[in-house]
Homo-oligomer: A and B are copies of this chain.
Amino acid sequence: MDHERIAVLAHEKFPDRAKTALGVLRYGDQDVRAVLDRDRAGDRVSDHVAEVSDAPIVDSFGDAHAAADGELDALYIGIAPIGGGFDESWRADVEAAIEAGCDVVSGLHYFLNEDEELAALADEHGVDLVDVRKPDDDLTVASGASGDVDADVVLTVGTDCSVGKMTASLEIVAAARERGIDAAFVPTGQTGIMIAGWGNPIDRVVSDFAAGAVEEMLVEAGDDHDLLVVEGQGSIVHPAYSAVTCGILHGSMADGLVLCHAAGREAVHGYESFDLPPLADYVDLYEDLAAPVHETSVVAGALNTKDVADDAAAADAVTDFGDEVGVPAADPVRDGAARIVDGIVDAGLGGE
């Protein structure tokens, strides 16, 4: 995937329920020339989201293409309904994009390539339908080669799902680059893949190949950068998703870990009968579990304070979190990730 000028479909959900659209706007290298949301057509992105490149919000792909002077090369599906299905109300826009010669990129469970109408139309117009949740067929088991890559590897690990591991990873890369470190983001989930334009969706890889799919990315990127920041998934004690987490932990053979947590979270999101263990237990679990494959330690912390009322309370929460974990910490969204990069650099990682 190498798209320069894109439109992002976010009908009826922009911005608050359009996580992928927001991620692409905030962190993608692509130039977002229009957002499709029929409920907000006529507004501008800057009316709703600060600190991202502005673009018009339009009603349809046709309007987007016109607003972009016909220069679009892809349409990204920037929303995911519960269940990951394809909403038939999007079909006209997707078809219009294909007919205009644009690729269509989707992180839905529903694979565009398996939709006979869309597949035939894409074939006719010579464009790609990119289903980022569909793993490559040539993935296989890990060999242990992640330990041999030249770059230092940092992995974001979580106390739970949905605590901001992807955002922390992207902010760490940005802050490291500001410090002159040649850093790159290694995506492991569909939104990260859409932002970065490459990657393996580890949660969709068969469990035998989970570590191998991480290794394959690190081997691919490892000689081109000094620091690779691997996007973690789930939590090592999640009742449903820990297999994904464990495969990434051992497959990455990370040199340092950044512990990510959401302020105030006390139980597993969506599994409220399972309490989160104390933060110190997470540190021990991640380090002790990683060690037989590759020695590592938690070198920094990222606290998501979006549910904390004000900046002063958020700052206190970050201080408490850093003290409890015993590492430099920040909320990468409120504060930026400079202090997290301090922890990474202090651990001797990211140097040439």
List the one stretch of A5-13, A116-124, A240-248 in contact with chain B: A240-248
Q: Are B206 and A206 in contact (CB under 8 A)?
A: yes
- B residues near A247, Cβ cutoff 8 Å: 207, 242-243, 246
Q: Which of A52-60, A176-184, A274-282, A337-345 contacts B (4 or more CB under 8 A)?
A: A274-282
In chain A, positions 175-213 with a C-beta closer than 8 Å to chain B are: 202-208, 210-212
Q: Which residues of A does B touch, CB under 8 Å?
A: 141-144, 202-208, 210-212, 236-247, 249-250, 253, 271, 273-277, 281, 284-285, 288-289, 291-293
Quote the shortest CB–CB distance from A344 to chain B (angstroms): 24
Question: Which residues of the partner chain B approach A208 to less than 8 Å between Cβ atoms?
Answer: 203-204, 240-241, 243-244
Task: Determine the distance from Cα of A142 to Cα of B240 in the docked complex, in whole angstroms.
Answer: 5
Residues of B within 8 A of A245 (CB): 246
CA distance A203 to B206 in the complex (A): 7
Given the known A-B contacts A206-B205, A207-B206, are A142 and B239 also in contact in the complex, defined by CB atoms under 8 Å?
yes
B293 touches A243 (CB 8 A): no
Docked-complex contact A211 and B240, CB < 8 angstroms:
yes
Is the beta-carbon distance between B237 and A250 smaller than 8 angstroms? yes
Q: Of all chain B residues, which has the CB nearest A234?
A: B208
How far apart sit A240 and B293, CA to CA, in the bound complex (Å)?
Answer: 10
Find A205's partner among B143, B207, B238, B241 (CB 8 Å cutoff). Answer: B207
B276 & A141 in contact (Cβ 8 Å cutoff): no
* Chain B residues, Cβ within 8 Å of A142: 239-240
Which B residues lie within 8 Å of A237 (CB)?
A: 250, 289, 292-293
Distance in Å: Cβ of A257 to nearest Cβ of chain B: 16
Interchain CB contact under 8 A, B210 and A238: no
Find out whether the CB atom of A275 lies under 8 angstroms from the CB atom of B292. yes
Q: Is the CB of A274 within 8 A of B246?
A: no
Query: A207 contacts B244, CB within 8 Å?
Result: yes
